[in-house]
Amino acid sequence: MESVESEPQSRPPRWVLDKADWPQFTELSSFILPLADFDTCSEAVDYFTDFLRSAALQTVPKTSGRFTKRPVLWWNAACTNGVREKRAAFSRLLRHRGDPQCLDAF
């Protein structure tokens, strides 16, 4: 049997809102240019987005993007669908306890 090495999987980092420095974020995001300084609406939106993103990058930490548990190699979409169908059948069973069709489906 061969050893299967998988590349370390990661997910996009997420914002950790509970650890944010909100007073500092408010201070950094309080200065905004008036709309008259922009030629188009899309320029104003781009400026506002970049302005808020830079304030957030300075004050709100992000997760590392690594999984807390190592994902198993054998898990695939069929496993996910099977678990989803099992949960749906169990939910139907709980809603219709006396119905023999639901009991057979579970």
10-65 per-position pLDDT tens digit? 788 999 999 999 999 999 988 777 778 888 989 988 988 999 999 999 999 999 87
Same structural domain, 54 and 20? yes
Number of domains in the chain: 2
CA atoms within 13 A on the CB side of 67: 8
Same structural domain, 80 and 51? no
Which SS3 state, helix, strand or coil, does residue 15 take? strand
What's the pLDDT score for residue 1? 44
Same structural domain, 56 and 82? no
Calpha distance 20→15 (Å, rounded)? 9
Same structural domain, 18 and 62? yes
Per the structure, the complete domain to which residue 59 belongs is given by 13-66
Same structural domain, 32 and 61? yes
List the structure tokens of 48.
Answer: 């506002």
Calpha distance 93→100 (Å, rounded)? 9
> Is residue 78 within 8 Å of residue 11, measured between CB atoms?
no
Same structural domain, 20 and 58? yes
pTM of the model as a whole: 0.53
